[in-house]
Structures are given as structure tokens and as C-alpha cells.
Amino acid sequence: MFSIRHMLVGVLALAMLGVGCTNYSGNAYSGRQVRSAQSVQYGTVVSVQPVTLEEDHPALVGTAAGGVVGGVLGNMIGGGRGRTLATVGGALLGAAGGYAGEKALTKQNGLEITVELENGQQLSVVQAADQQFSPGERVRVLRGSDGSARVAR
């Protein structure tokens, strides 16, 4: 028979899977960028370096959910003082696992693309590695009024 604890563990585990990633793609636009003008400059790719993209915010959802799940599972073990220690230990281990899991889920492969513009200025743009660029390739650099930039073909 399933108890409330079992259901709680299942719901929290599913919630941890729902932790999303920010889209750093050169092809993705945020809602505030839609219907806004971007300046376009042309240039040539000078270099392309692989980078890792990580979320700026702390992994609070994974840490909290992992702590709760670990605490509930630890509470199912033993009795008396042993149960209390298992609950605390489970919560700590679960929180650490949830933190690591959320960080792993939100990492993306990216590229640092250095472009020499037609005016001689060099510009470096970091974006998701969903498109491949090569040195010597002719590209467009789109700059938004919010300071954002992207490299596109």
C-alpha cells in the first residue's frame, strides 16, 4: 500500500525533473525582444572556443526538493534516535544530491565566438552551441538595445 510519504516522495521527485534551463540559443528570442529593433553588423569569424554555460541563480529548487525527499526517506528508516539521525542525514544527503542534480541539468554547451566587424572592431559573443561557426566564415552580429548580441548566418 502506498502511504502519504510515498506519494510525497514521488511528487517531489517529479518536481525536481521539472527544473528548466535558460535558452541561450542564437535562434531564441525572449518575450521582450519580440518586435524590437536590433542593429545588424557584418563581420568575419576570427575564432570559436567551446565554453560551458551555467545558470546565474542558486540551485534552490533542487536543494530544497532533494532535502525534503532525503528527509522523508531517512524518516522511514529505524526508530527513536536512529530515525532522527537517519532523517537529518537523509535531508543533508538529499539536499546535496538535489543541488548537484539541478546544476547538472542546467549546464549547456556554448561557444565564445570572436568576430571582426567590417569597421575593424573585434567583438566576442557567447551563445549556445546549437549552430557551428568556423574561422573565416562571414556572419551577421545582431545587437539589441538591451545590450544583448547574437551571431547568425
**pLDDT class for 70, splitting at 50, 70, 90?**
confident
What pLDDT was estimated at residue 1?
Answer: 45
Question: Looking at the domain 37-54+109-153, which fold is it?
Answer: OB fold (Dihydrolipoamide Acetyltransferase, E2P) (2.40.50)
Rank 48-62, 74-88, 112-126 by mean pLDDT and report only the highest. 112-126
CA 125 to chain centre: 18
Give the start-to-end residue ranges of the domains of the chain: 1-25+55-106, 37-54+109-153
CB contact set of 27 (below 8 Å; sequence gap of 6+): 130, 131, 152
Contact 152, 41 (CB under 8 A): no
What pLDDT was estimated at residue 92?
Answer: 81
Q: pTM value?
A: 0.56
More confident residue, 115 or 76: 115
Strand partners, 52: 109
Query: What is the tens place of the pLDDT at every residue in 79-88?
Result: 788 888 888 7
Return the percentage of the chain with pLDDT > 70, whole number.
69
pLDDT, average across residues 95-106: 70
More confident residue, 134 or 56: 134
pLDDT, average across residues 49-63: 76
CA 60 to chain centre: 13
More confident residue, 7 or 124: 124
More confident residue, 11 or 126: 126
Q: How far apart are CA 53 and CA 30, in angstroms?
A: 17
More confident residue, 73 or 21: 73
